[in-house]
């Protein structure tokens, strides 16, 4: 049994990828005992013991590296933790920074490098897109209302107003654009990005890079139905050759290591890169379901084994997310609160 | 008394079956809560704390009163 | 033997706050600074108390110096007085070989008083009064001009002294850093800098021997320094070709971050703040790959914060315990934003000066001022504290003991823990006499 810790087990209306990853691991050939890492005692995954064998509360990454490391070492001591698969944006920089130290303690992972992680900044997209031969929506970095006005005069409404790492709001009027500029600047700082809205199909590709320019499989999809929070509810597999080639070029150009997702808009023959996520997306189970068990392959890579690389999949497979209910005892909650684990 | 309705675990987890609220208490908090439930006065509780722990009676009394303030804020205690 | 006591507490459980808290709390105690117990320091010197560590100051300076010298052959560190101009602190840096970087008459005079010769002083800043400017010229200081008016002043001084004056000029440039500090010096990209230089050359009284820029403070992007170095070097080469001057040095200013927690940054400083080595690499790479067989210009760094911040601590004491109407726990400390000007921008690390048991709760830390803005921390997770518990705030070594204000109360002692582990006062606590000494009462009010 490989003891593998997975975070992002917050399967709520804006779900983390954790449970999808765990379902993939459980369906793989490597026997696993999944350990859930949670940032709140109410994260649903804690209560799903058919998926999550043991659950531990974590300190926030913002509270410092030492508490975080100590907590992982405690879990290692209690559970014999061997691998960790982090799945949340906020914790990734810590795991990346700690990777070699954790590895020295016998906790393996398979993550992008610091330099690769930095590519997700919106002001780096241009350079990435150019290198892999696709476009990006025209994007202007602004730091003042004056620059915002100049940018707006070059673009036509609606426009996207975006933070460097997080948050994207669609503005239909100059007043809205200004309001979003202020709110994003206040929350995420400067520069704020003003981006043209490109009409087209929103398509995504997920994969795991091998760190040497190759990969352990790719899957491209189109989201058919998204929730009001912008989260996928149904989707379908596609075999858009341009998109898959762009993903392969991306992996090759940067020797990407670990999980990634590219968010792209396809407009006829043109592809526009909108976002790079240096981790699995919440719909990662889709890949498992069509026979490309990326979580398992990532686990194998972390363990130093040679994962499978085949990634034939049919277009037209459907993904349906659904809600479920569970009734359980307050006791689990009590244990999480008083002991921090169950 | 409202305290009587609370489900109190030895781990310091408190559940209020009427409101659905949960609370945690630490070791001394648990002692104070139980003593209040048993009808002891703040000064009796302070003395008991001072017996058992490294603390003077006046300091303990101030802390018990602060604890009572918290209970009031959570609407678990009303002035009799 | 009685058991160790914890204040009795009851905490209502609220979804969204139920993370693991003990690991972080376990890290949050600091019984001593460089081996000297916090308790002893308070007993001997009172509360609040600023504490500096000589060991940390010297180690950090040596580390930075060695680091840059292994990347580039000619480096000079110039101690940024504004960051911390206590005599003892300046002397430590000067002993380690730093020159002085000053931005005002007061700082210039303070550096001279400490025995720093003129030629080891860099004189920056947007306003240099005429008399001190002339004195600095006479004493051979490196003057970095900020405006056209200052150039006119210097040309006059050159005439008075009947000699040519060597100067540096401050440039502002686009290195991708926001906000851009473009009010200082002359803009490079717009062509303003070149025009000014032409004007200087035409005047014939001044000659440019150095280029200076300072992008801002707490800059988290090492690559920005590479861009600055490249642009300065390019401009230097242009000037040398066009006017036959020799640009002896490039001064990249300060701005390297300390491991402090800038507000608005989510990640802890261990992760968010790039190591100094990345800055050194970025600068050295830009210089070495663009030199074109030219001699190595001297690289000057005016790093302040990165050298002194983490060597400074403030010990303060809980003076009152409160519950706010919204239920939050709050403490009144004997030190507030009067002493901690940088609290407006940074979340300090808050360590307990003695062990306190009990469950942590988000708490507000207020200072002693009668103003609503006197907040040291909005929400720091602390166990239940009683009156008298000491807290150790850090890092506070940069800008606080210069920007602190004397408002309604006295400023406290500052001590230095020497390398031998002895605590020495380096600034006495203010007294009523100190504060009223400069006041005069007109006769009719006596
Ligand atoms: C001209 C100049 N040099 C150096 C510094 C020191 O900056 P830091 O403390 O960020 O290194 C400053 C700070 O404002 C400055 O204005």
Partner-chain contact B26 C8, CB within 8 Å: yes
Residues A170 and A302 in one domain: no
**B34 inside domain:** yes
Distance CA A39, CA C59 (A): 38
pLDDT-above-90 percentage for chain A? 85
- Least reliable range by pLDDT among C139-143, C276-280, C290-294, C324-328: C290-294
Take residue A173 and report the two structure tokens written for it.
Answer: 């009027």
**Residue C302 alpha carbon, nearest atom of ligand 1:** 4
Q: How many helices (H) and strands (E) does chain B have?
A: 3, 3
Distance CA C215, CA C226 (A): 12
Residues A222 and A300 in one domain: yes
Pick from A335, A127, A147: nearest CA to A250: A127
Residues A208 and A123 in one domain: yes
Q: How many CA atoms lie within 13 A of C334 on its CB side?
A: 21
Partner-chain contact B74 C10, CB within 8 Å: yes
* pLDDT higher than 90, residue A228: no
- Least reliable range by pLDDT among C80-84, C365-369, C380-384, C407-411: C380-384
As a three-state string, the secondary structure of C339-400 is CCHHHHCEECEEEECCCCECCCEEEEEECCCCCCCCEEEEEEEECCCCCCCEEEEECCCCCH
Take residue A293 and report the two structure tokens written for it.
Answer: 């068990």
Residues A260 and A287 in one domain: yes
Q: Closest chain A residue to B13 measured between Cα atoms?
A: A334
Q: Would you say the CB of residue C168 lies under 6 angstroms from ligand 1?
A: no
CA C329 to chain centre: 32
Instruction: Please tell me the CATH code under which domain C85-303 is placed.
Output: 3.20.20.10
Residues A221 and A192 in one domain: no
Residues A181 and A239 in one domain: no
Identify the band that residue C47 occupies on the pLDDT scale cut at 50, 70 and 90. very high
**Residue C219 alpha carbon, nearest atom of ligand 1:** 10
Average pLDDT, chain C: 95
Rounded to the nearest angstrom, the distance between the alpha carbon of A172 and the centre of ligand 1 is 42
Which distant-in-sequence residues (6+ apart) come within 8 Å of C3 by Cβ?
B52, B53, B54
Q: Would you say the CB of residue C107 lies under 6 angstroms from ligand 1?
A: no
Q: Give nearest CA residue, ligand 1 atom 10.
A: C255
CA B69 to chain centre: 10
Identify the band that residue C20 occupies on the pLDDT scale cut at 50, 70 and 90. confident
Q: Would you say the CB of residue C257 lies under 6 angstroms from ligand 1?
A: no
**C115 shares contact with chain A (CB less than 8 Å):** no
Out of C127, C253, C303, mutate this one to test ligand 1's pocket (max ligand atoms within 8 Å of CB): namely: C253
Residues A178 and A236 in one domain: no
* pLDDT higher than 80, residue A189: no
Q: Give nearest CA residue, ligand 1 atom 4.
A: C254
Compute the Cα dihedral for B14, B19, B21, B26 and give only its sign. negative
User: Which of A35, A38, A39, A60 is the best mutation test for C, with the most CBs of C within 10 A?
Assistant: A60
pLDDT-above-70 percentage for chain C? 100
Q: What is the mean pLDDT of residues C56-80?
A: 98
Name beta bridge partners: A330. Answer: none
The string of pLDDT tens digits covering residues C384-417 is 999 999 999 999 999 999 999 999 999 999 999 9
Contacts of C11 in chain B (CB under 8 A): 23-25
Rounded to the nearest angstrom, the distance between the alpha carbon of C302 and the centre of ligand 1 is 6
Asked if residues C320 and C332 have their Cβ atoms less than 8 Å apart, the reply is yes
Contacts of C20 in chain A (CB under 8 A): 56-59, 71, 340
Q: What is the mean pLDDT of residues C198-203?
A: 96
**How much is the pLDDT for A166?**
78
* pLDDT higher than 70, residue C54: yes
**C272 shares contact with chain A (CB less than 8 Å):** yes
Q: Closest chain B residue to A331 measured between Cα atoms?
A: B13
Single out the residue in A196, A217, A234 at which a domain terminates. A196
- Least reliable range by pLDDT among A33-37, A59-63, C39-43, C420-424: A59-63
* pLDDT higher than 70, residue C369: yes
Q: Would you say the CB of residue C83 lies under 6 angstroms from ligand 1?
A: yes
User: What angle separates helix C276-288 from helix C54-71, to the nearest 10 degrees?
Assistant: 30
**How much is the pLDDT for C74?**
96
Q: Which domain holds residue B36?
A: 2-73
CATH number of the CATH domain containing B10: 1.10.10
Residues A208 and A82 in one domain: no
Partner-chain contact B13 A337, CB within 8 Å: yes
Identify the band that residue A255 occupies on the pLDDT scale cut at 50, 70 and 90. very high
| CB nearest A64 (choices: C27, C178, C266) | C27
Rounded to the nearest angstrom, the distance between the alpha carbon of C407 and the centre of ligand 1 is 26
Take residue C204 and report the two structure tokens written for it.
Answer: 């014939």
Q: Which fold has domain C21-52+310-432?
A: Lyase, Ornithine Decarboxylase; Chain A, domain 1 (2.40.37)
Partner-chain contact B28 C13, CB within 8 Å: no
Contacts of B22 in chain C (CB under 8 A): 12-13
* pLDDT higher than 90, residue C17: no
Out of C89, C98, C107, C217, mutate this one to test ligand 1's pocket (max ligand atoms within 8 Å of CB): namely: C217
Take residue A274 and report the two structure tokens written for it.
Answer: 């909108």
**B35 shares contact with chain C (CB less than 8 Å):** no
Per DSSP, helices labelled H in chain B are 27-37, 42-52, 57-73
Rounded to the nearest angstrom, the distance between the alpha carbon of C299 and the centre of ligand 1 is 16
- Chain A closest CA to C404's CA: distance in Å? 27
- Chain B closest CA to A323's CA: distance in Å? 24
Rounded to the nearest angstrom, the distance between the alpha carbon of C351 and the centre of ligand 1 is 28
The string of pLDDT tens digits covering residues C116-136 is 999 999 999 999 999 999 999
Take residue C266 and report the two structure tokens written for it.
Answer: 């989510």
**B19 inside domain:** yes
**How much is the pLDDT for C316?**
98
Higher pLDDT, C391 or A140: C391
Q: Which chains share 3+ C-beta pairs under 8 angstroms with A?
A: B, C
Asked if residues A259 and A279 have their Cβ atoms less than 8 Å apart, the reply is yes
Residues A44 and A103 in one domain: yes
Q: Closest chain B residue to C385 measured between Cα atoms?
A: B63
Partner-chain contact A58 C20, CB within 8 Å: yes
The string of pLDDT tens digits covering residues A88-114 is 988 999 999 999 999 999 999 999 999
pLDDT-above-70 percentage for chain A? 100
Pick from C249, C183, C253: nearest CA to C217: C253
Pick from A45, A62, A63: nearest CA to A54: A45
The string of pLDDT tens digits covering residues A296-338 is 999 999 999 999 999 999 999 999 999 999 999 999 999 999 9
Residues A123 and A269 in one domain: yes
The CA–CA distances, whole Å, from C378 to A211, C314, C362, C367, C395 equal: 43, 18, 9, 12, 17
* pLDDT higher than 80, residue C362: yes
**B39 inside domain:** yes
Distance CA A237, CA C196 (A): 62
Out of C76, C83, C85, mutate this one to test ligand 1's pocket (max ligand atoms within 8 Å of CB): namely: C83
| CB nearest B73 (choices: C13, C321, C327) | C327
**B78 inside domain:** no
Partner-chain contact A338 B24, CB within 8 Å: yes
Contacts of A338 in chain B (CB under 8 A): 9, 11-13, 24
Q: What is the mean pLDDT of residues C79-100?
A: 98
Rounded to the nearest angstrom, the distance between the alpha carbon of C304 and the centre of ligand 1 is 6
Pick from C335, C310, C309: nearest CA to C42: C335
Q: Would you say the CB of residue C84 lies under 6 angstroms from ligand 1?
A: no
Q: What is the largest CA-CA distance in chain C?
A: 87
Q: What is the mean pLDDT of residues C169-176?
A: 94
Which distant-in-sequence residues (6+ apart) come within 8 Å of C416 by Cβ?
C51, C52, C53, C54, C88, C89, C423, C424, C426
Partner-chain contact B13 A334, CB within 8 Å: yes
C260 phi and psi angles, rounded to 5 deg: -110, 165
Partner-chain contact A337 B9, CB within 8 Å: no
* pLDDT higher than 90, residue A217: yes
Q: How many helices (H) and strands (E) does chain C have?
A: 14, 23
Single out the residue in A196, A216, A240 at which a domain terminates. A196
Q: What is the mean pLDDT of residues A188-212?
A: 92
- The boundaries of every CATH 2.40.37.10 domain in chain C are 21-52+310-432
Rounded to the nearest angstrom, the distance between the alpha carbon of C153 and the centre of ligand 1 is 24
Q: What is the largest CA-CA distance in chain B?
A: 36
Q: Which domain holds residue A256?
A: 116-133+199-320
- The boundaries of every CATH 3.20.20.10 domain in chain C are 85-303
**How much is the pLDDT for C21?**
84
Q: Would you say the CB of residue C253 lies under 6 angstroms from ligand 1?
A: yes
Distance CA C28, CA C356 (A): 10
The string of pLDDT tens digits covering residues C244-297 is 999 999 999 999 999 999 988 888 898 889 999 999 999 999 999 999 877 899
**B59 inside domain:** yes
**How much is the pLDDT for B80?**
59
């Amino acid at each position: 049994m490989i003891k593998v810790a997975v975070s992002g087990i917050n399967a709520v209306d804006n779900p983390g990828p954790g449970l999808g990853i765990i379902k993939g691991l459980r369906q793989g050939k490597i026997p696993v005992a999944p350990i859930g890492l949670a940032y709140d005692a109410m994260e649903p995954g804690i209560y799903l013991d058919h998926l999550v064998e043991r659950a531990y509360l974590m300190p926030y990454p913002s509270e410092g590296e030492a508490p975080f490391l100590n907590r992982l070492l405690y879990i290692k001591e209690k559970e014999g933790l061997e691998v960790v698969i982090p799945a949340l944006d906020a914790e990734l920089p810590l795991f990346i920074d700690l990777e070699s130290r954790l590895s020295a303690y016998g906790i393996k992972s398979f993550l992008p490098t610091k330099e690769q992680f930095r590519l997700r900044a919106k002001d780096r997209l241009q350079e990435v897109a150019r290198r892999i031969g696709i476009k990006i929506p025209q994007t202007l970095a602004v730091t003042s209302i004056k620059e915002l006005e100049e940018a707006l005069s070059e673009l036509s409404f609606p426009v996207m107003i975006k933070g460097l790492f997080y948050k994207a709001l669609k503005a239909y009027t100059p007043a809205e654009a200004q309001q979003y500029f202020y709110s994003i600047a206040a929350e995420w700082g400067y520069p704020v990005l003003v981006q043209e809205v490109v009409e087209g199909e929103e398509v995504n590709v997920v994969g795991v890079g091998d760190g040497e320019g190759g990969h352990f499989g790719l899957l491209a999809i189109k989201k058919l139905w998204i929730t009001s929070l912008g989260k996928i509810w149904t989707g379908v597999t596609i075999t858009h050759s341009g998109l898959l080639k762009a993903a392969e070029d991306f992996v090759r150009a940067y020797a990407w290591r670990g999980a990634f997702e590219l968010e792209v808009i396809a407009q006829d023959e043109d592809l526009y890169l909108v976002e790079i996520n240096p981790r699995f997306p919440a719909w990662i189970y889709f890949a498992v379901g069509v026979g490309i068990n990326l979580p398992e392959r990532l686990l194998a890579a972390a363990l130093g084994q040679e994962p499978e690389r085949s990634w034939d999949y049919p277009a037209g497979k459907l993904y349906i997310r659904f809600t479920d209910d569970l009734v359980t005892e307050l006791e689990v909650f009590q244990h999480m609160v008083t002991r921090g684990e169950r | 008394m409202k305290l009587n309705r609370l489900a109190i675990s030895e781990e310091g987890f408190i559940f209020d079956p009427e409101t659905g609220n949960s609370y945690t208490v630490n070791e001394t908090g648990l002692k104070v809560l139980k003593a209040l439930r048993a009808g002891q006065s703040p000064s009796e509780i302070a003395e008991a704390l001072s017996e058992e722990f490294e603390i003077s009676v006046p300091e303990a009394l101030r802390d018990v009163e602060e604890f009572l303030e918290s209970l009031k804020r959570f609407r678990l205690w009303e002035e009799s | 033997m009685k058991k160790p006591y914890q204040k009795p507490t009851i905490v209502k459980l609220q979804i969204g706050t139920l993370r693991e808290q003990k690991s972080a709390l376990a890290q949050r105690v600091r019984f001593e600074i460089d081996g000297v117990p916090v308790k002893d320091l308070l007993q001997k010197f009172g509360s609040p108390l600023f504490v500096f560590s000589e060991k940390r100051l010297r180690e950090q300076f040596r580390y930075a110096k060695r680091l840059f010298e292994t990347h580039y052959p000619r480096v000079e560190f110039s101690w940024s007085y504004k960051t911390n101009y206590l005599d003892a602190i300046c002397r430590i840096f000067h002993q380690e070989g730093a020159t002085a970087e000053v931005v005002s008459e007061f700082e210039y005079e303070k550096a001279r008083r400490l025995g720093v010769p003129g030629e080891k002083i860099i004189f920056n800043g947007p306003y240099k009064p005429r008399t001190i400017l002339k004195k600095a010229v006479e004493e051979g200081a490196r003057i970095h001009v900020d405006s056209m008016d200052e150039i006119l002043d210097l040309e006059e001084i050159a005439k008075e002294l009947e000699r040519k004056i060597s100067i540096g000029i401050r440039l502002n440039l686009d290195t991708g850093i926001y906000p851009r500090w473009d009010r200082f010096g002359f803009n490079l990209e717009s062509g303003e800098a070149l025009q000014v230089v032409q004007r200087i050359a035409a005047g014939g009284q001044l000659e440019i021997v150095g280029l200076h820029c300072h992008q801002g403070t707490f800059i988290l992007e090492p690559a920005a320094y590479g861009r600055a170095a490249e642009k300065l070097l390019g401009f230097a080469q242009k000037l040398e070709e066009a006017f036959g001057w020799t640009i002896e040095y490039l001064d990249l200013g300060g701005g390297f971050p300390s491991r402090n927690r800038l507000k608005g940054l989510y990640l802890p400083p261990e992760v968010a703040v790039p190591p100094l080595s990345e800055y050194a690499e970025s600068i050295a790479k830009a210089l070495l790959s663009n030199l074109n067989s030219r001699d190595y210009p001297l690289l000057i760094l005016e790093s302040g914060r990165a050298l002194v911040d983490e060597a400074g601590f403030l010990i303060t004491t809980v003076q009152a315990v409160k519950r706010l109407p919204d239920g939050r726990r709050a403490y009144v400390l004997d030190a507030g934003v009067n002493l901690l000007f940088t609290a407006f921008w940074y979340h300090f690390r808050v360590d307990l000066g003695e062990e306190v048991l009990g469950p942590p709760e988000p708490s507000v830390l207020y200072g002693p001022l009668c103003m609503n803005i006197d907040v040291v921390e909005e929400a720091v997770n602390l166990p239940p504290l009683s009156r008298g518990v000491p807290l150790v705030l850090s890092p506070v070594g940069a800008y606080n003991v210069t920007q602190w204000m004397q408002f309604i109360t006295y400023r406290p002692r500052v001590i230095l823990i020497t390398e031998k582990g002895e605590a020495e006062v380096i600034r006495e606590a203010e007294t009523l006499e100190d504060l009223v000494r400069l006041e005069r009462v007109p006769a009719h009010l006596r």
